[in-house]
Chains A and B, each alone.
Chain A
Amino acid sequence: MGDDGRRVAVLGAGMHPWGKWGRNFVEYGVKAANDALAEAGLAWTDVQFVAGADTIRNGYPGYVAGATFAQALGWNGTRVSSSYAACASGAQAIDSARTQILAGRCDVALVVGADTTPKGFFAPVGGERKADPDWLRFYLVGATNPTYFALYARRRMACYGATDADFAAVKVKNARHGAANPNARYRTPVTAEEVLASPMVADPLRLLEICATSDGGAALVLTSLEFARRHGHAEPVTVEAVSTVTPTFPQGRLEMPDLATDSAVAVPSGRRRFTAAVVQAAYDEAGVGPDDVDVAEVYDLSSALELDWYEDLGLCKEGEAERLLTDGDTTVGGRVPVNPSGGLSCFGEAIPAQAIAQVCELTWQLRGAAAGRQVEGARLGVTANQGLFGHGSSVVLRR
């Protein structure tokens, strides 16, 4: 099997703008799907496989998302799958579609994720659920998602000397990027002073440094390379790798929603973070490394967390992320821009759509179609994402 046997083409990307619209998530998913199909020059009736990414906020797992989107677009006899993997749901849906294509079971697949979120902190599923770690962390400790983001941020300060000013600078950069993105929810540039004057939520993280919860939808049309070429796409953007690996025991960093880490008495802790291992698996599959990366979309659940990702991506050594940021390397126009879309900082999180949205942005970047935030000459991009229950994902795209 040649290289073509491992690649699929991204012929279309589409999004419903992020916001707090308060409407049914299905509507956002359908809008994104139709935009992706239009961009691909294909009709819904051409789609042979639908992969849905599930929301857990809207009844059943997104009414079982793959089928719900298929019904909304019009029952069509397509094969269908639905994925739930917390924040990595979208990447698992992409991988589901990709493997169907690579296995020769279809030529055209549609991937859709969408969410409608409640106001405020994400809360666990209701009821009394004393066997559910996500319920228990709220019940016993009052540990919200920002609690964990703040623990990592404080750790960076203690280990590497990161400062409030460094964290604020991440927000300022991403806000500048996102101002040019029509799909972003927050499109107003901010100053470091405004960031530092916003209310403290989880010391040392402030309101403007913590990802909001948003409504939104994203979709992709994936096809076999052969199909793409037959339809006039000589050099399409291709998916080179999708990583959705689990952590390796012992997991030494306290991760959501756990109340404790693994114990390392029997097996020594590995040196690398789980998030670095997720990215490494994608690099390995694609046969690339950090030096090949032109642009990255990472999961900046907090301003500080973006700095951890620089190291996990191998863009710099551990402890050097602050310098990479302040040198301007990760700003559009710099050596390796990160979050040209504006990131979660400008979007907020629409969980099942988010990993798909990262791939939408890189698709547009690699095509040179990201007006106002374009990374010039970008040929290779990588996404990185992490969520609850040991889920993470990384996708490598090339043109």
Chain B
Amino acid sequence: MTTTASGKTRVPAIDGWFTTGDEPALLASRCEACGTYVFPPGPTWCPNPACSSTAFDEVRLGRRGRVWSFTDARYQPPPPFRAPEPYEPFAIAAVELVAEQLVVLGQVVGDVGCDDLAVGDEVELVVDTLFEDDDHEYLVWKWKPVATGVDGEGRADG
């Protein structure tokens, strides 16, 4: 847990789903018997119908993946989404993690819009602010294009 310059405490918006720090990663459960990954973590039985295991290891998912698809939210989503005023549209990407063979949804960082994204682009997981209240800054995972700064200067091939 860290504190921001304005004295707010930085806390995950949800507990146990991701790590923070320099190289943050999503946390998943991995079935000890068949190797199936489960995100979000914390299953009590394996989702593989051919596997009856109830034993899981906590693992970190790969921090990089390929954009499976993407879109944006031009209009403010309803609660429980909490948006800063005034509302700023943001991009959303579904990202394929090659080693784990699953797709994870997440917001895309800052000023990166749909024009800066393409299916197949490489992205990296970062932890960023989801929303704030008087005392806290709530954190969530987001996707960030590998060839693009948060300032959204465009893809290397674009």
Residues on A lying within 8 angstroms of B by beta carbon are 120-121, 123-124, 126, 128, 130, 135-144, 146-147, 150-155, 158-159, 199-205, 249-250, 252, 254, 258-267, 269
Is the beta-carbon distance between A262 and B102 smaller than 8 angstroms? yes
Residues on B lying within 8 angstroms of A by beta carbon are 13-14, 31, 34-40, 47-51, 68-75, 77-81, 83, 90, 92, 94, 100-107, 114, 118-120, 130, 140
A264 CA / B50 CA spacing, docked (Å): 13
Q: Smallest CB–CB gap between B99 and chain A, Å?
A: 8
Is the beta-carbon distance between B105 and A202 smaller than 8 angstroms? no
A135's contact among B13, B48, B80, by CB below 8 Å, is which? B80
Given known contacts A140-B130, A266-B31, A200 and B48 CB-to-CB distance under 8 angstroms: no
Chain A residue with the shortest CB-CB distance to B100? A263
Is the beta-carbon distance between B119 and A158 smaller than 8 angstroms? yes
Given known contacts A155-B68, A249-B49, A267-B50, A136 and B103 CB-to-CB distance under 8 angstroms: no
Is the beta-carbon distance between B48 and A249 smaller than 8 angstroms? yes
Is the beta-carbon distance between A123 and B78 smaller than 8 angstroms? yes
A136 CA / B35 CA spacing, docked (Å): 26
A120's contact among B68, B72, B78, by CB below 8 Å, is which? B78
Q: Smallest CB–CB gap between A164 and chain B, Å?
A: 13
A141's contact among B36, B106, B118, by CB below 8 Å, is which? B106
What chain A residues lie within 8 Å of B100 (beta carbons)?
A: 263, 265
Chain B residue with the shortest CB-CB distance to A205? B71
Chain B interface, DSSP helix/strand/loop, else mixed: loop
A249 CA / B49 CA spacing, docked (Å): 7
Q: Smallest CB–CB gap between B82 and chain A, Å?
A: 8
A260's contact among B36, B78, B81, B104, by CB below 8 Å, is which? B104
Given known contacts A260-B103, A260-B105, A139 and B81 CB-to-CB distance under 8 angstroms: yes
Chain A interface, DSSP helix/strand/loop, else mixed: loop
Chain B residue with the shortest CB-CB distance to A156? B69
B71's contact among A138, A203, A263, A267, by CB below 8 Å, is which? A203
Is the beta-carbon distance between A266 and B78 smaller than 8 angstroms? no
- Most A CB contacts (10 A, CB to CB) among B35, B39, B78, B80 go to B80
What chain B residues lie within 8 Å of A140 (beta carbons)?
A: 13-14, 130, 140
Is the beta-carbon distance between B79 and A150 smaller than 8 angstroms? no
Is the beta-carbon distance between A254 and B101 smaller than 8 angstroms? no
Q: Smallest CB–CB gap between B121 and chain A, Å?
A: 11
Is the beta-carbon distance between B77 and A121 smaller than 8 angstroms? yes
What chain A residues lie within 8 Å of B14 (beta carbons)?
A: 130, 136, 139-140
- What would 9 more interface pairs be, CB under 8 Å, given A142-B73, A154-B71, A269-B101? A136-B40, A139-B80, A202-B72, A204-B71, A250-B101, A259-B106, A260-B102, A263-B100, A264-B101
A5 CA / B71 CA spacing, docked (Å): 48
Instruction: Please give me the 8 A-B residue pairs with the lowest Cβ-Cβ distance, nearest first.
Output: A150-B71, A158-B119, A123-B78, A263-B37, A142-B77, A264-B101, A266-B34, A151-B69
Q: Smallest CB–CB gap between A340 and chain B, Å?
A: 30
Given known contacts A143-B92, A155-B68, A263 and B78 CB-to-CB distance under 8 angstroms: no
Is the beta-carbon distance between B107 and A203 smaller than 8 angstroms? no
What chain B residues lie within 8 Å of A123 (beta carbons)?
A: 78-79
A124 CA / B81 CA spacing, docked (Å): 10
B36's contact among A121, A144, A151, A265, by CB below 8 Å, is which? A265
